[in-house]
Structure formats: C-alpha cells, structure tokens
Chain A
Amino acid sequence: AQSVTQPDIHITVSEGASLELRCNYSYGATPYLFWYVQSPGQGLQLLLKYFSGDTLVQGIKGFEAEFKRSQSSFNLRKPSVHWSDAAEYFCAVGAESGGGADGLTFGKGTHLIIQP
C-alpha cells in the first residue's frame, strides 16, 4: 500500500522569503502525486499535480513542485510567500491500479505560518 510522509508539522516563514515543503511517498509503481491547500475551516483546493512527463510542475498561486523518483519526493516550492499563503498543505498520492476510483492517500499535512 502507498503512504505519504510530510516530515514537517509546522513551518514558519517570513513574508517574502522562499518556501519549500517536503513530501516523501512510498509506492511501488509510477505515482500520481498532488499538492492540496486548505484554508482554516474550508475544503481542499488543488495546487498542482504530477502524472508523467516534465518532473517540474507548475501550479496555481505561484507554486511549483519537483518530482524526484530517486528520492521518492515531491517537494512544493514558492520563491516568495505572501501572508495569504498561510494555510495547511497536504501532499497526496493516487494508486495507479485503482484507476482513480479508490481515493487518494494523504500525508498528515504541514501547517504554514507566515511571519510579517
């Protein structure tokens, strides 16, 4: 079974500084990888996804992520954070065998705090 690890529960970054959120996955075949963002009390919004091809993927709100198969990682980055980026970030993996039907496996999330 697949699993996702987000090693950082909380991260504090100054506004305008760069950001990297870590995500490691465990899955035997080609993973389908996602980053979602959740504002307090809200649902999840898809930031970006990786299915195949270029290992550097661009998403919404200026985010990007890089798939590194050798490290089983899919880290999320942003060159300059804004106060509005404060939220919970979730990395997720989909099982190829499920064809998308049987849901995603999520990490436990990273809470991003932005300092003024």
Chain B
Amino acid sequence: SQTIHQWPATLVQPVGSPLSLECTVEGTSNPNLYWYRQAAGRGLQLLFYSVGIGQISSEVPQNLSASRPQDRQFILSSKKLLLSDSGFYLCAWSTRGSYIQYFGAGTRLSVL
C-alpha cells in the first residue's frame, strides 16, 4: 500500500532563517506531488506541483521554492523565512492521470 510521510510535524523558526520541509511517498512510482499551505480561515492554497523529477510548477509567487531531487521526494524550501510564511503545510500525491489526492499529516510552521 502507498504511504506518504512529512516531517517535521512541528517547526518553530525565527524570521530570516532558512526552511526545509521534506515529503516522501512510498509504494508508488512516478507520482504527481503537491505542496499546499493552509492558513487559518483561508482553506488550502496550492503552492507547487510536480509531475516528475526536476519538474516544478509554481502556482503562487512567494518566498518559497520546491524541488524534486528523486521520484518520490518533494522538498519545500526558503532561504529567509517571513512572518507571513507561518501556517500548516501539507504535501499530497496522486497517480498519473488521477484527480484523487492523498495527503500527508502536515507540518505546523510558526515563524517568530
């Protein structure tokens, strides 16, 4: 069966510090991968998606970037965090051609 892992679960970072959140998927090959951010009362906002290694599409220009160094690994990064980067970050995957997305448990990021 397929599983998705996100870590860390919780992160507190000072303004201006770097960020690296990691997501890995097991039990499937060539998945589509997604990063969403969830801010209080604002639902889920799609940040990045990837259909393959090194292929990243950005939905919202911002202080964040994403990379996919391996088929089942998706990383969300920032060089310098802003207060506005605080939120709940969710990674998701889907099989090619499917609209059904499966979500990880999320990372709660607090930028202070």
> How far apart are the CA atoms of A108 and B39 in the complex, in Å?
10
> How far apart are the CA atoms of A46 and B101 in the complex, in Å?
8
A101 and B49: CB pair below 8 A? yes
Of the listed stretches B11-19, B69-77, B79-87, B90-98, chain A binds: B90-98
Q: Chain B interface residue count: which class?
A: 20 to 34
> How far apart are the CA atoms of A32 and B98 in the complex, in Å?
10
Distance in Å: Cβ of A83 to nearest Cβ of chain B: 22
Chain B residues near A9 (CB-CB < 8 A): 41
Closest residue of chain B to A6 (Cβ to Cβ) is B43
B57 and A102: CB pair below 8 A? yes
Q: How many A-B residue pairs have CB under 8 A?
A: 62
Chain A residues near B105 (CB-CB < 8 A): 42-43
Closest residue of chain B to A44 (Cβ to Cβ) is B103
Chain B residues near A34 (CB-CB < 8 A): 99-100
Distance in Å: Cβ of A36 to nearest Cβ of chain B: 8
Distance in Å: Cβ of B58 to nearest Cβ of chain A: 11
A41 and B108: CB pair below 8 A? yes
CB < 8 Å neighbour of A104 from B42, B57, B101: B101
B108 and A100: CB pair below 8 A? no
Distance in Å: Cβ of A114 to nearest Cβ of chain B: 20
Once A41-B106, A108-B42 are accepted as A-B contacts, the answer to whether A100 and B90 lie under 8 Å apart by CB is no
A74 beta carbon closer than 8 Å to chain B: no
Chain B residues near A99 (CB-CB < 8 A): 97
B99 and A100: CB pair below 8 A? yes
B94 and A100: CB pair below 8 A? yes
Q: How does the 8 Å CB contact mask read for A83-116 relative to B, with 1 for contact and 0 for none?
A: 0000000100010000111111111110000000
Chain A residues near B104 (CB-CB < 8 A): 43
Chain A residues near B90 (CB-CB < 8 A): 43-44
CB proximity to B under 8 Å, residues A29-52 = 32, 34, 36, 41-46, 49, 51
Chain A residues near B51 (CB-CB < 8 A): 101
Apart from A100-B97, A105-B46, what 15 extra A-B contacts exist at CB < 8 Å? A9-B41, A36-B103, A41-B108, A43-B104, A44-B103, A49-B99, A94-B99, A100-B98, A101-B51, A102-B57, A103-B46, A103-B49, A103-B59, A107-B43, A109-B43
